[in-house]
Amino acid sequence: MQSIRQTKVLSLLFALVILGATSSAWAQQVRLSARRNKVINGVEAQLRGDYRARNAPVRLNAELEDINIPRGTKVAFCLTQNGVNTRIGVGRVVLVGGIPTASVELAVTDGDFVPAVNPGDVLQARQRRIAPFQANPTCGTALLVAAPFQ
């Protein structure tokens, strides 16, 4: 009788340990960032990317700040994974606090598809440096700057 009770107690403790390990794995968060500065048309621009996941992709933001191309110009943001370029979005150059910036923000909570990002994947900003600018830039448009996620 004592042995059966001990077995049940040990089984319950074992189940609690497994549950605790599983729940901590479920709550695991991933955050990767990409950053690179590059002089474009005489001004040092900065490409930044921020990726967050919690069991599944949650958010991916890409921003090209202090870009010396005209306001309203579209910039394609692409993600290179295993040698394949995928356009994640297109942002227009607008003034943010007086600084020309193009950005794309993807969030699952907004209904966006957020791709899974891994360390080593590369964020790219693409557009021609001088006029005529591409009206609909793609991942085949001239590369302005690229940065790996870490």
CB atoms within 10 A of CB 21: 10
Q: How far apart are CA 8 and CA 6, in angstroms?
A: 5
Beta-strand ranges (E) seen in 108-142 are 122-126
The domain limits of the chain are 29-148
Distances (CA, A) of 126 to 89, 91, 99, 134: 11, 10, 19, 10
pTM over 0.85: no
Q: How far apart are CA 51 and CA 89, in angstroms?
A: 14
Give, for all 150 residues of the chain, the pLDDT tens digit: 555 555 444 444 344 444 444 444 456 899 999 999 999 999 999 999 999 999 899 999 999 999 999 999 999 999 999 999 999 999 999 999 999 999 999 999 999 999 999 999 999 999 999 999 999 999 999 999 999 999
E strand or H helix at 104:
strand 99-107
Closest C-alpha among 134, 139, 50, 144 to residue 86: 139
